[in-house]
Structure formats: C-alpha cells, structure tokens
Amino acid sequence: MNDVEISAARRLYWSVRRELWENRAIYLAPLIVAALVLGGFGLSLFTLPDRMRAASALNPAELRTAIEQPYVIAAIVLMAVDLLVAVFYCVDALYGERRDRSILFWKSLPVSDLTTVLAKASIPVLVLPLVTLVATAVTQGIMLLASSAVLAANGMSTATLSAHRPFLEMSRINLGHILMLHGIWYAPFYAWLLLVSAWATRLPFLWAALPPVVIGIVERIAFNSTHFATLVGHLVGGPSRSPGDPGETASGMTMEMLAPHQLRDFLVSPGLWGGLVVTAMFLLAAVRLRRQRGAM
Amino acid sequence: MAYIEARGLRKTYGATIALDGIDLQVDEGRLVGLIGPNGAGKTTALNAIVGLTSYEGHLRVLGRDPWTQRDQLVRDVCFITDVAVLPRWMRVSQALDFVAGVHPRFDRAKAEAFLAKTMIRPASKVRELSKGMVTQLHLAIVMAIDGRLLVLDEPTLGLDLLFRKQFYDALLSEYLEQSRTVLVATHQVEEVQHVLTDLLFIDRGRIVFSRSMEEVESRYQEVLVHPDRLATARTLHPIAERQGVGHTILMFEGADRRQLAALGDVRTPSVADLFVAVMNSRQALPQGAAR
C-alpha cells in the first residue's frame, strides 16, 4: 500500500476550495456588485467636469466630502455584500450538507470534522474579507483612473482629485477596516451562525436570530437592563463603539483602523480577545455537533 | 487480527432498540453479505462500524474504536452508506480532484478507467446525472481507494442489471484480495450469492444466522420432491417447504445427503430461499423467544 501522507494543511486547502466550488457567490456577488457600482459611476462621469467646476466654489471640507462620496459609497456597498454573503453562507454551511445528505459522502473521506469546520469558518473570517478588499481596491482604482481620464480629457487638473483620494491611502484604510472589523471582530458572530447551522434540524435562520432576541427581551423584563442588547450593539458597531456610550453615532465607527493608536487600542481591547475565546468555543461546539449529527 | 470484532453491540434510539447485542467477527479477505428485512438494523450496524454513530458494547474495526478513532480509521475504511449522497452541485472532475486531494490511497487513474466505461463525462455536474450514474460515480471513486475494509449499504440500488453484474465482477476480480475485506448489505441477494464468502442474516437487531458459504453448501439442501414421496420427506423434518411446478421443494438442514437423494433432485438452496426459510422459522417463534 502506498502510504503517501497528506498534511493537515493540504486537507484544509482542499476543504476551502470545495467551499468555493459550492458557493460561487463568495466571489461572484462582489464581482457583480462591483460591476454595477462601476456602471453607475461610469454614467455619473458625464457630469463630472461640470460638478468639478461647481465644486471649486465650495469650501475645502465640502469639496472633500463631494469628491469622497462615490468612493465611500462603493466601499460601503461592497462591505454590505460581504456581510450579506457571509451571513447566508454561515447559516447554510453545516445545515445544507445534512439536509442534502452529502455529509455522508464528506464523512467517508479522511477529513476530520475540525478541518471541515475550520475551512468553513475561514470563508467569512478570511476569504470573504480578502475578496472584498481586492474588489474594493480594484473598483476604487478604476473609479479614480476613469475620473482622472475624464478630467484630463476636459483639460482640467486632476490634482484636487488625487489630493483628496490618494489611492494607497484609501486601500490602506480599507485593508484595516475590512480585515479587522469584517474578519476578526465579527468572528464570534459568524461562529454563532455556524454553531446554529450545525445544530438546527430546520429553520436555521430563525434559530440563529431567536436566542439573542429572547435574551434581550427577558433581560429587559426581568432586570430592566439592556446589557445584552448593548453587547450585541457593541459587536455589530465595531470596536470603537464602546458599550455604555449611547451618545456615539454610527459614524463613530471609524474606518481608520490601521492608524497606530487605533491598531493598538484594537489589539488590547478586551472585546477582541473575549470575542476570540467565544469564537473558539462556538466552533468547537460546532465540531462536536457535526460529529454527532448525521444526515437528516 | 479480526477486521471487524463486535461483542454485545447495542444501539437504542429512545425506546426503539436498533441493535440488540450483536456478536460478530469478520476476518481479512472475506466478502460478507449482511442481509435482513427492512428495519432489522443493517444500516445502524454499518454506521456503527464506520464510525458514523455511537454505540454501547465492544466494537473494534481494524483494531480501532470507530467512534473515538474515526479520523484515523477512515483512511483504511471506505464506505458507501447511502447512494445518492454525492453533492449535487459538484462536477465529476471536482469530485475526483477533491478525493485525490485529501485521500492518500486514491488512485485517480483507476477511477477514470472505471468512468470511461460509463456515459459519465468529467465536466458533468452530479445534478445532471441520472440516479444510476450517480451511483456509478460513487462506486468508481470508492473502488479506486486502496482501503482495507470496504463497507457498502445497498450499493447497487437503482442500477441496471448490466452495471450491477459489472460491479460485482469488478469487486471480485479487481478489489477483493487477501488483505481486503468487503461487507455489503443488500436486498438483491440473488446477485451477490455467487460472490460472497460469508453470509450474515440480521433480524430485529440481532445476528440470527452466520455461516460461510462453504458451510451453507454442506449443511443446507433443497430437494424437489414428487407428490408421491412428500409424506416420507416430511418425516425428515424439513425447515421449509414451498410449492414448485409439479413438485414440492423442501429445505433441510444437516440431513443425510443420500437419504435426500432418494426423495428427488438435491440442490443447494439459493440465499434468497434460505433467507426466507430462516426468517419464517423465526416469525413462528413467539416474540419473547425471538428476542
């Protein structure tokens, strides 16, 4: 018998590849949305020279906002797609294979439940943020090049544009925001969805949403407090939005996460490490459930 | 070393007893048929053996506990516990890529050679294949894995006669060798009886019959008895009796072959007839005794 060993890393690699085969939305959805964003932006280019002439009259702050807007919208839309795909992916990841009974095929191959669950967790935590990052960078890059080309063709200076939206600066901010927030900060949230996906025998979406809502309501009625709701809000809002700080608006959720002080605050925040511990617990529970639960 | 060794293997689902103390030993180089009525516990027994379900009692497969050491065991044990479980979104080539990527003992060329004999194209998706073709694909993958134990639950369900024949021929000629064992549960007993080396009948969670095919051939006889000699034949305690055309067929266990020859044509009963005889004799027993 040929006993060629296959490393755990290789098994993980193939497991991630299989997720990409099955869930093509992981890269198709950002691609399609990026194309739509670019299409819309392309139409707006016709009026760009006029708008730039009008904008020259604005004060610097207003000018900056006007120029930034389309780039920020493009990034927000792509990040929303990232979240949406991640949520739908997680809820189905360990539920779908039991529903269509294909788990019996996967379990007949030498890939452990741990490897499988880690591969599935890597999609929302690592793969989707990377895809979103690249999609955002490419989209914003094309937008910048197209605007510059239009302005140059109209004999206008592109200096204002590049001064306010330096490409590298944008990408650096996106890098920090997407990897830190969408990948690492949201990990416990994704792990919870995977856990429910491994547990539910039907209606995984409902089961994923129900416990947090019920806990929030029970806490409110029993103790007249909203600690749990605040905690969830803190999780969704991101690390810069500390609990018990209701005055802060959604805009307080900063994009600037790679600024040295931000990064330091992020790395020492108890929320991050507490979240990672919770993530590990949820994922281990999902591994156990996948082992015990067979096909439906 | 026994490939499969079970003692007092039990499994209950709530109040339902799926396995009621199974004792079993399967050695290397055997092709064992596990045959039983619906709900007898076949699938539960096979799932316990391949580590898909927890159990009570003693069970060792290739010297390992299948429930706690499943990850190591699954490198040496191949199984199809259900046909039609290949993911429907997958392409045939992707299935081969994936198995080749994670299984150290998968011979891709061999699987492709099997598939070349079928209508299955590498670019097809599983959802585009017919039921029988999905099964063919699954069998092609499993047969190309150089495992030590192959466990199959109704592997030929939905396949046409030609492919079923081809599959069992391949199982005999290409797969089964000294260091390998095959355990197959099936209803299509007529087709497997010529390839099996051992026969297990399971009923209500228990193994009720366990013999090698040589034992079956030497112990069990069927005699085609002319109506004139029927009364004499019945005095020899047949274990089963059924009507043929112009004669009655009586089955005997451990009877004297020469004595039987005087009654009519003697032959070895088919596995199907033997199964029916064993099951009917058990149904005649009161419930408590059958347990």
Task: Look at residues A65, A69, A52, A74 and name the one whose alpha carbon lies nearest to residue A159.
Answer: A52
pLDDT digits (tens, 9 = 90+) for B219-258: 999 999 888 888 888 888 888 888 888 888 999 988 888 8
Q: Which residues contact B218 (CB under 8 A, 6 or more apart)?
A: none
d(CA A116, CA A109): 11
Domain total for chain A?
1
Give the residue-averaged pLDDT of A8-14.
93
On whether any CB of chain A is under 8 Å from the CB of B102, the answer is yes
Q: What is the pTM of this model?
A: 0.85
Residue A5 forms contact with B (CB below 8 Å)? yes
Q: The tokens 């099996």 sit on which residue?
A: B196
User: Using the beta-carbon criterion (under 8 Å), do A294 and B47 form an inter-chain contact?
Assistant: yes
Question: What is the average pLDDT across B115-132?
Answer: 91
On whether any CB of chain B is under 8 Å from the CB of A294, the answer is yes
Cβ atoms of residues B185 and B154 within 8 Å: yes
Residue A2 belongs to a domain: no
Higher pLDDT, A6 or A3: A6
pLDDT at residue B244, as a whole number: 84
DSSP structure string for B104-157: TTB-HHHHHHHHHTSS--TT-BGGGS-HHHHHHHHHHHHHTB--SEEEEESTTT
| Chosen from A7, A23, A109 to mutate, greatest number of chain B CBs within 10 A | A109
Mean pLDDT of B256-282: 87
Domain boundaries, chain B: 4-204, 215-290
What single string gives the DSSP state of each residue in chain B?
--SEEEEEEEEEETTEEEEEEEEEEE-TT-EEEEE--TTSSHHHHHHHHTTSS--EEEEEETTB-TTTSHHHHTTTEEEESSSS-S-TT-BHHHHHHHHHHH-TTB-HHHHHHHHHTSS--TT-BGGGS-HHHHHHHHHHHHHTB--SEEEEESTTTT--HHHHHHHHHHIIIII--TT-EEEEE-S-HHHHTTT-SEEEEEETTEEEEEEEHHHHHHHEEEEEE-GGGHHHHHTT--SEEEE-SSSEEEEEES--HHHHHTTEEEEPPPHHHHHHHHHHHHHHS-HHHH-
Task: Return the pLDDT at A196.
Answer: 95
Domain of A38, in residue numbers: 8-292
Nearest to A105 among B54, B71, B87 (CB): B87
pLDDT in tens, A264-293: 777 777 778 888 999 999 999 999 999 988
Give the CATH class of B4-204.
Answer: alpha beta
A282 domain-assigned: yes
